[in-house]
Amino acid sequence: MTDRPKRHDDDVIVCRCEDVTLGEIRRLISEGYHTIDEIKRISRAGMGQCQGRTCRHLIARELARALGVPQEEVEMPMFRPPTRPVLLSTIARGEGDE
Amino acid sequence: MRQAETTRTVNLLKEVDVAVIGAGPAGLAAALACAEAGVSTLLIDANDAPGGQLVKQTHKFFGSERQHAGTRGIQIPSLFTEKLANYPNVEIMWNTNASGFYDSGELVLEDEKRFMKILPKRMIVAAGASERFLIFRNNDLPGVYGAGAVQTLMNVYGVVPGDRVMMIGSGNIGLIVSYQLIQAGVDVAAVVEAAPCIGGYLVHAAKLRRAGVPILTSHTVLAAHGQESVTGATIAEVDKEWQPMPGTEREVECDVICLAVGLMPLVDVLWHAGCEMKYVPELGGHVPVRDENMRTSNPKVYAAGDSGGVEEASSAMVTGEIAGISAAKSLGHQAPGADARLAQLKADLAAIRSGPTGEKISAGVRCATVCGGVWE
């Protein structure tokens, strides 16, 4: 684990669905995870109920700050269906009415 | 067995000329335009009633009469649905979410019970926007709300969120919701704004000031306090780099912290559809590159309302109608006088975006519009 000076707001929650803190995001960036997708796969940030709608731009902003680039240069994660979580029973039932 | 499954899928694949995702101001206007043009139209919305954000907008609209100025937001949805009811070529599905759009051109819908596959010839994405969140200590305490939730609680369900609210953000949503809180008998401790000046219309801010609410520009929230729920907050002044200035911290007593710090376009389905996207801060984030008819880089896909860039309900109704007329026209259908109407709508849109508050939006739209205004 990389040594990183502790910051006063490290324990602030960024991803509320998966309880990921700002400190954890910063640690991952310092360890070389430099895209939202990479951070998502390691930490689960953005994989909860809201599918990243709350934390995606906060992580993008943190990446932009840490890497010293404008936010528009931070690559967005891959957007895949479904747009919201789906019940397993819906999947099991399949298409149609029965 | 395999054969049967194939047959089943084919039978259930519903074909439609235009699928409109979202029945807020943009989607309603888009669906009505498609209906008038005579194309088969499927309007879907994840909620159980039409209107999107209009269902909580109890205030009267500004602007032009053509965009229902003087009418309260909550009265607008029924103006559309009454007209839509006259068209047998329109089908509406409530409580239905657009789950995904696939390379095959299939749109998958889901209503928490079943999946449905739709094969639309054109798709208009009018999904609206989501609220921005803010990073500060204890931002996960109960009592920290988004302004949309506060407005829904009060104006849809008649429930006040608390006794004393601190509003973060002085855009029109922050200002209007603050005033509505006061009307509901809730104390507004302050409106806190990080920018050096307010973001919304002066007329809304003036109402708050007359009611004695302090509007603290160049301020931000540093922390929420409380054990079980919010009992107060620490705010501080910020410098030109938006950094809190040490020594300016002070405590504010409140049981609600309401965040009205901006919206981001909901564009997931546009990403699925492979539309060329661009980060345009003036429009709230990533938006589809479009032509002046709201067509995206995918010739079958249009965007309308906040999904094309965060603006307001009046412009959403205009971009929705533009998208609806244009999508139908691309299929060879148009209502009498559609071309003149389209020209009128584009003029209306320019008028809505004129003036000092429209400058930022106009710059954003220019940035998001394909070179030359039309796709090759």
Summarised one tens digit per residue, pLDDT across range B264-295 is 999 999 999 999 999 999 999 999 999 999 99
- Kindly state the average pLDDT of the residues B311-326: 96
Contact criterion met (CB < 8 Å) for A83 and B99: yes
Decide if pLDDT at B134 tops 80.
yes
Q: Are the Cβ atoms of B9 and A83 closer than 8 angstroms?
A: no
Domain boundaries defined on chain B: 2-130+263-373, 133-259
- Please name the member of A11, A22, A83 whose beta carbon is closest to the beta carbon of B98: A83
Residues 6 or more apart from B347 whose CB is under 8 A from it? none
> What average pLDDT score do residues A29-35 get?
96
Split at pLDDT 50, 70, 90, the class of A93 is confident
Name the minimum distance, in Å, from the CA of B78 to any CA of chain A. Answer: 28
What percentage of chain B reaches a pLDDT higher than 70? 97
Identify residue A71 by its one-letter amino acid code.
Q
CB within 8 Å: A54 and B133: yes
Task: Say what the pLDDT of residue B272 is.
Answer: 97
Q: Which of B110, B137, B277 sits opposite A82 (nearest CB)?
A: B110
pLDDT at position B344 over 80: yes
Q: CA triplet B35, B108, B2: central angle to 5 degrees?
A: 125
Higher pLDDT, A71 or B11: A71
Is A93 an interface residue toward B (CB < 8 Å)?
Answer: yes
| Contact between chains at B272 and A90 (C-beta distance less than 8 A) | no
Mutation target to probe the B interface, by most B beta carbons within 10 A, among A12, A54, A83 is: A83
Query: Is pLDDT at A6 greater than 60 in this prediction?
Result: yes
Q: Quick check: A96 and B130 CB within 8 A?
A: no
> CA-to-CA distance for A46 and B19, rounded, in angstroms?
28
- What is residue B7's predicted lDDT score, i.e. its pLDDT? 38
Q: Which residues in A lie closer than 8 A to residue B8 (C-beta atoms)?
A: 95-96
B107 has a pLDDT exceeding 50: yes
The answer to whether the CB atoms of B9 and A95 lie below 8 A apart is yes
On chain A, the residues whose CB falls within 8 A of the CB of B264 are: 53, 57
Structural domains in chain A, sorted by start? 13-93 (1.10.10)
Has residue B57 got a pLDDT over 90? Answer: no
Average pLDDT over residues B23-49: 97
In this prediction, residue B193 has a pLDDT band, given cuts at 50, 70 and 90, of: very high
| Kind of pairing between the strands at B164-168 and B144-146 | unpaired
Contact A53 B130 (CB under 8 A): yes
A22 touching B (Cβ < 8 Å): yes
| Residue whose C-alpha is closest to residue B122's, from B105, B109, B108 | B105
Set of chain B residues whose Cβ sits within 8 Å of the Cβ of A49: none
How much is the average pLDDT of B32-51? 97
**ipTM score here?**
0.90
What are the tokens at B304?
């309308």
pLDDT value at residue B214:
97
pLDDT of residue B122: 98
Q: Which residue has the higher pLDDT, B235 or B73?
A: B235
- Please name the residues in contact with B107: beta carbons below 8 A apart, sequence gap of 6 or more: B19, B98, B100, B101, B117, B118, B119, B120, B123, B269
How do B164-168 and B256-259 pair as beta strands? Answer: parallel
Average pLDDT over every residue of A10-35: 95
pLDDT score of B150: 97
Same fold yes or no, B2-130+263-373 and B133-259? yes
pLDDT tens profile B144-158: 999 999 999 999 999
Strands B164-168 and B187-192: parallel
The chain B residue lying nearest A19, using CA atoms, is B140
Computed over every residue of chain B, the mean pLDDT equals: 93
Q: What's residue A5's pLDDT?
A: 79
Residue B11 pLDDT grade (very low, low, confident, very high; cuts 50, 70, 90): very low
* pLDDT at residue A3 greater than cutoff 80: no
Residues of A in contact with B281 (CB under 8 A): 71-72
Which residues share a beta bridge with B90? B41
Instruction: Give the rounded percent of residues in chain A with a pLDDT score beyond 70.
Output: 93
Fold assignment, B133-259: FAD/NAD(P)-binding domain (3.50.50)
* CB-CB under 8 Å, A81 with B285: no
A81 touches chain B (CB under 8 A): yes
Give residue A29's pLDDT: 97
Q: Can you give the pLDDT at residue B206? A: 97
Is A69's Cβ below 8 Å from some Cβ in B?
no
The more confidently predicted of residues B309 and B69 is B309
**Contact with chain B for residue A68, Cβ under 8 A:** no
B5 band by pLDDT with thresholds 50, 70 and 90? very low
Q: Is B215 helix (H, G, I), strand (E, B) or coil?
A: strand
Q: Measured between CB atoms, which of A11, A79, A96 is closest to B271?
A: A79
Beta bridge partners of B244: B238
Q: Identify the CATH number of the domain defined by range B2-130+263-373.
A: 3.50.50.60
